[in-house]
Structure 1
């Protein structure tokens, strides 16, 4: 069966890419963008410079700066009201995955109406939404290059995966200079998030030769440079590499899929308000160890791509090195367990069966090399707790 591939129509990568927003909007025939961001980004000098450049070129931007970490249906609804009141013709998501995912969701409802729960997986929405331009300020989510948005339903506390070409940005401006002042914790969590995207895209049941190439390059780049970006925030070479790797990883999983780590991660974020990247990082080593026996050749290739194992190593040697190195990476990046993060043990055990059901319902675990039962997912949650 042929693979279905989709990428942003315009992709500009490198220092200063964000300064080309006005040119890109003009090239797409757009003149009234609503910039979607969070209060912190809206206060930053570079954001004010973006607004100034737009206005100098005759573009009339609006600003919606009410996004929150792990965007909610309430915030999306507020964004839709701002969109309609201002009669804007497009959305520009400026920030991490949350503002960009919010912009995608607002663009979807602005074009098609309804509620976000109408579009959650397994629904796939390919009908065009309003144009979205993504300007990421973190290196990890890959949302600037994916056909997915994750929105929390405030009525059910469910993190909903919404998918389809309607969620794919029309353009992405990937400027690593916007990440230079990322704090160490955010650098680590989003970086491991990107590494998870690449690994899961590669081992997914829906992997294809194009996504494989993107995932291999992303893994190699991210693993080689993430520690440096974490320990030395001013290392421009590392920052640029991690940013590029994150975008490649986003393109890989958008055209393949994610798997069990992401399926288990979303309920953790919904119930315990753990950032998406951090919950992925918590899960990655243990879920990888659970899964390697069902696709040892694919996981071994991951290890070889990242230089964890020699080209001539056996699959057993390579997969052993992969699990060991992922655990070591988490230690060096100070990734906490749920226990160390302060999550209450009793509440964790109580919610584990529900989280397992929600993980399976997302569909992502079905793409995993080893497809787990609900009982096995509960056991994994217990093992991950710490």
Structure 2
């Protein structure tokens, strides 16, 4: 069976890649762009630097820096209005996954109007959004190369999943220098998020030869460098490996899909505002242990790619070592449990039914090697607690 692969038109990768932003915008036919970012990037001077690069290429620009973590529809609508009324012909996103997700949704609604729910699953975004250049500042979400964006409907705390080839950014600029100032907690959470992307893409029922190679290489780059990138933030080599690994993992899961971890993670984020990467980390060991019986050989290959065991290690020993390592990563990087995060147990228990329904409705659990029913998923949530 064939596998359909969708990638950005341009990929600029390496130290100093951001300097090519203006030239790439020009190649995309942009003359007037709206830069989407966040207050932190503005304070650090990255937005001003990017504007200077764009101006040097004779491209007009304006900025919108009021994006929020875990974006909601209400948070992006002012930028949508600005993009439409300002007659912009391109969007540049500078920031982490939330910024890039926001920018995708802004480019989508600026191009086609309507509300996010109008374009969310089961609808598929097939037509291209407004030209978008994505510049990640964290090594994690892979949003710069994915055909997915997630925006919360704040009226009912539901995370709406929009996906389709039209959401792929026209260009992605992968410059690890921009990740050097990322806080320790964000580096940890986004790094585990990227590792989860790679693992889930590899075990997904929609995996294929192309995405397998991206996923395995991503694991090889991320796993040995994750702790170092968090504990020694000035280590440029570790940051470079993490940034490239996150992008490869993004390519893998965008084209092979994620699975049960992400399906269960989104409702946790929507209802309890746990950062996406952190909720993935909370779930990964438990969901992996549940899933291994249905894909032992695949999970064993993950352990080998991560360098947890030797290539000659048996599958049984490899998956045992994988579970030990996933738990160790969470412990070493101070990933809290749901209870330690401060979520009220009674409130969590009262939401298990709707969270499980929302997870199943996303479709991601159906890609898992072992597909749970609603009751099993509730028990998994309890186990993660």
**Structure-2-length-normalised TM-score:** 0.99
Match of 1:146 in 2: 146
Q: Secondary structure at the match of 2:79?
A: helix
Match of 2:223 in 1: 223
Give the equivalent residue in structure 2 for 1:134. 134
Shift of 1:274: 0.7
The structure 1 segments of at least 4 consecutive aligned residues displaced by more than 4 Å after TM superposition are: none
Question: Aligned residue for 1:286?
Answer: 286
Deviation at 1:273, TM superposition (A): 0.6
User: What secondary structure does 1:94 align onto?
Assistant: strand
5 Å-filtered alignment, 1:255-334, equals 255-334=255-334
Check the 8 A contact 2:22/2:56 in 1, yes or no. no
Structure 1 residue matching 2:155: 3-state secondary structure = coil
Number of the residue aligned with 1:181:
181
Gapped regions of structure 1 (runs ≥ 5): none
Distance 1:212 1:234 in 2: 31
Distance 1:305 1:40 in 2: 35
Deviation per CA, 1:129-164, whole angstroms, max 9, x where unpaired? 111100111110000010000100112210111001
Partner of 1:206: 206
How many angstroms does 1:309 deviate by? 2.0
- Cα-to-partner distance string for 1:224-243 (whole Å, 9 max, x where unaligned): 10110011000000000000
Distance 1:112 1:84 in 2: 10
Query: Is 1:62–1:86's contact at 8 Å kept on the other side of the alignment?
Result: no
Structure 2: runs of 5 or more not aligned: none
Q: Which residue of 2 aligns with 1:84?
A: 84
Give the structure 1 partner of residue 239 of structure 2. 239
Question: Cα deviation per residue 1:324-361 (whole Å; 9 max; x = unaligned)?
Answer: 11001111111110111111111111111111110000
How many aligned residue pairs are there? Answer: 385
Quick one: distance in 1 between partners of 2:45 and 2:77?
Answer: 28
1:52-201 equivalent positions in 2, closer than 5 A: 52-201=52-201
Quote how far apart the aligned CAs of 1:183 are: 1.1
CA deviation map 1:233-290 (0-9, x unaligned): 0000000000000000000001100000000000000000111011001100110000
Q: Report the counterpart of residue 29 of structure 2 in structure 1.
A: 29
Counterpart secondary structure, 2:339: coil
- Give the C-alpha shift of residue 53 in structure 1: 2.2
RMSD between superposed Cα atoms in Å: 0.9
What do the CA deviations read for 1:266-325 (whole angstroms, capped 9, x no partner)?
000000011101100110011000000001111111111112122222211111111111
Q: Deviation of residue 166 (structure 1)?
A: 1.6
Matches of 2:42 and 2:81, distance apart in 1: 19
* Paired residues of 2:264 and 2:355 also in contact (CA < 8 A): yes
Secondary structure, in 3 states, of the residue corresponding to 2:300? Answer: helix
- Whole-angstrom CA distance in 2 between matches of 1:207 and 1:361: 21
Structure 1 window deviating more from structure 2 (104-113 vs 171-180): it is 104-113
Residue 62 of structure 1: how far off its partner (Å)? 1.2
Which TM-score applies when normalising by structure 1? 0.98
